[in-house]
A and B are shown apart, each in its own frame.
Chain A
């Protein structure tokens, strides 16, 4: 059975390669016309790696992975390992709580009203 580490290693490897290129998430996505929200989820193991070989090859080219290199094989191996195996409970409450914001930068410097906190928790769970 795959471990939690297995589920996140594609994203971690993706992020490592992007950062090796010296690009922030935003810069990388701007350069390649990608949605930063989706790539962020991919890197954090909150979204499946694409199952399409064509899309994976595109990502590999954006990351400047040389075809046939160790990174190339690892990239596709990790994608295969992680593909379709993200557990549904990856953001269950005990994992989520430490990812909730401590305080927020709000428009008016005010706290979020109590009645909105549940909604905010769900928004962060989906982020």
Chain B
């Protein structure tokens, strides 16, 4: 087993790092976040559309060991814009958060790389992936934009909530549909999928603001 001893990063700390990332590239005020421009012009990586990644390997994307290249499945690159943006943000997370782990390994042969892929500690792998995932969401849906926009859109849920309440339904019965509706209102603003939006709302516990 190959261990990287990836440090634990609480979600709140990843949020701070995501904000620092946006500030570094002067994009903390921009919505939707121009993640493609950040990757290409800021981080100076090549974004390479790669046919077959998803079909054959279930892979959306990956970052080269030398940090020069982000591979994105060709179909996602061309046909799934929100997923493309999330994949880029996720991979930028690896570059921004995990450079020290990536630099620890300089593979001198393909077989060494294969050995690493096969033997990397599962907990380390999961931790790297979770942090990349969390970072991706926090970069595309930054906290300092999400909460005010969530509050701004709340009145649009009110008729549905009023109706449910007038019919005697408890909060638990309409909270999920309210959350879905809120996600569908906010997702286009951030140019993310509703799934990413729901996760972000839930991670920031903003559903508690729904009456």
A102 touches B46 (CB 8 A): no
Q: How many residues of B are counted as interface, with CB atoms below 8 angstroms from the partner's CB atoms?
A: 54
Those of B56-83 within 8 Å (CB) of chain A: 56-66, 68-69, 71, 74, 77-78
- The segment from A52-60, A73-81, A91-99 found at the interface with B is A91-99
B68 touches A107 (CB 8 A): no
Residues of B contacting A106 with CB < 8 Å?
57-60
- Which among A44, A93, A104 has the greatest number of chain B C-beta atoms within 10 A? A104
- The segment from A1-9, A63-71, A82-90, A109-117 found at the interface with B is A109-117
B41 touches A19 (CB 8 A): yes
**Closest Cβ–Cβ distance, residue A35 to chain B (whole Å):** 9
- B102 interface contact, C-beta 8 A: yes
A117 touches B71 (CB 8 A): no
Residues of B contacting A26 with CB < 8 Å?
36, 47, 77
- B52 interface contact, C-beta 8 A: yes
CB-CB nearest in chain B for A98: B66
- The segment from B117-125, B179-187, B189-197, B202-210 found at the interface with A is B117-125
Dominant secondary structure at the A interface: helix
A19 touches B128 (CB 8 A): no
Bound CA span A26–B36, Å: 9
B48 touches A127 (CB 8 A): yes
B49 touches A107 (CB 8 A): no
Residues of A contacting B118 with CB < 8 Å?
111, 114, 117
A101 touches B60 (CB 8 A): no
- B200 interface contact, C-beta 8 A: no
A100 touches B61 (CB 8 A): no
On whether A103 and B58 interact (CB within 8 A), knowing A36-B77, A127-B71, the answer reads no
- B1 interface contact, C-beta 8 A: no
**Closest Cβ–Cβ distance, residue A65 to chain B (whole Å):** 20
Bound CA span A121–B41, Å: 27
Residues of A contacting B63 with CB < 8 Å?
101-103
Residues of B contacting A120 with CB < 8 Å?
57
Counting from the closest, the 4 A-B pairs by CB-CB distance are A101-B62, A107-B58, A98-B66, A104-B62
Residues of chain B at the chain A interface (Cβ within 8 Å): 36-37, 40-41, 46-54, 56-66, 68-69, 71, 74, 77-78, 87, 90-91, 94, 98, 102, 105-110, 112-114, 117-118, 120, 122, 125-126, 128-129, 132
Residues of chain A at the chain B interface (Cβ within 8 Å): 19, 24-27, 36-37, 40, 43-44, 93-94, 96-112, 114, 116-121, 123-124, 127
If A24-B36, A102-B105, A117-B117 are given as contacts, then 13 extra A-B residue pairs at C-beta distance below 8 Å, sorted by A number, are A19-B40, A26-B36, A99-B65, A100-B113, A101-B64, A102-B98, A102-B102, A103-B128, A109-B129, A111-B117, A118-B114, A121-B110, A127-B71
